[in-house]
Structures are given as structure tokens and as C-alpha cells.
Homo-oligomer: A and B are copies of this chain.
């Protein structure tokens, strides 16, 4: 899914608007395992995942990596806090397979928000959608058994569930890798 297709699917931009908006995005090929943002950095770029997948994760006190979110095709990938409030990111952003992303700087997207009311609306709608998804995850984590949480994962990220290391999924779901391995049987 191209970025213009994505934008148009949410708000009806004119062709001129789309051209202008698109011109602020830069296409990048990112190789597997590359870290786009490091924990502690201020995230200055928003990424749109055209092809591939990524995750956000942090390293806890015991040096263990905890996956916080997965990003599939057609999603914006960023450390939302850090990007929008320009505060140090709690997370690393990592690309999990060779990927194609479109990137845009904070200044540029703020300019687009200011220039186009429609773009601001898109920002609001995308954020609302993210909010809904996080609430769903929260419910899964808070009140479901390990088995049910895995089912939630399969429903939410069907394409990702079978392509990333088990440990990433386990930490995303808030359980140990051993438990997830036992569940999957």
C-alpha cells in the first residue's frame, strides 16, 4: 500500500494536495534488523511502513528486550510520545525484515498539519485508531489468560505472528517465551 493510497483511504485529498504531501515523504530501503530510533533518542522522524514490518521494544533493567508494539504494512511506525512531544524515546524502533518505508520529519508533518485542515483530521483519526488498538491490547493483557492473549495476537497481527522470533511475541504479550512455547503446542 503506497502512502498516497493510504492517505486517500482515510480523508479525500485532491490530487494536488496528495502531490504536495507526498513530496515531503522520502522513500527509504531499510535492511533487516536496522534500528531506526534508539531508546533515549528524541524521535525526529515518522515512518510509514510500505513494505515489511517492524517493532518497538525496550531493554529492561535485567537487559531483557521487551517488545512493545508491532508495525505492519500500511501503518505509521514511530515512538508516538517521543515524536509528538519531542521527549526521549522509551523504545527502540527496529525493522524486522528488509523493508520499504516513507519517512517524514517532525517539522514537515507539523507544517502539513498546519497547512491542511484535512491532514490534521487524518492525524486525529490515525491517533484515534491507535488508541483503540492499544485499549484492545490492554484488555487482553489485563484480563485474559496466556492462551487468550495469544489468540488476541493472532487476530491483531496475523501476518506477523508467524514471521518473528517467538521471544518477541512472548514479551509483547507479557509472558515468558517458555510459556508461549507451551501454549502454541
Binding site for B on A (CB under 8 A): 60, 66, 68, 80-81, 84-85, 113, 117, 120-121, 123-124, 127-128, 130-132, 134-135, 137-139, 141-143, 174
Look across to chain B and name the residue whose beta carbon is closest to the beta carbon of A66: B143
Q: Would you list the 3 A-B pairs with minimal beta carbon distance, nearest first?
A: A124-B124, A142-B174, A117-B117
Cα–Cα distance between A123 and B80 once the two chains are bound (Å): 16
Main secondary structure of the interface of A (DSSP, over half): helix
Q: Which of B85, B131, B139, B174 contacts A80 (CB 8 A)?
A: B131
Q: Give me 10 A-to-B residue pairs in the complex whose CB atoms sit less than 8 angstroms apart, sorted by A's number.
A: A68-B135, A68-B139, A80-B131, A120-B121, A124-B127, A131-B131, A134-B135, A137-B138, A138-B138, A141-B142
Q: Is the CB of B138 within 8 A of A127?
A: no
If A134-B134, A143-B66 touch, does A84 touch B120 (CB 8 Å cutoff)? Answer: no
Name which of A81, A124, A130, A137 has the most chain B CB atoms within 10 A of its CB.
Answer: A124
Q: Is the CB of A134 within 8 A of B132?
A: no
Q: Which of B81, B113, B141, B143 contacts A135 (CB 8 A)?
A: B81
Contacts of A132 in B (CB 8 A): 80-81, 85
Look across to chain B and name the residue whose beta carbon is closest to the beta carbon of A138: B138
If A81-B135, A135-B80, A135-B81 touch, does A60 touch B143 (CB 8 Å cutoff)? Answer: yes
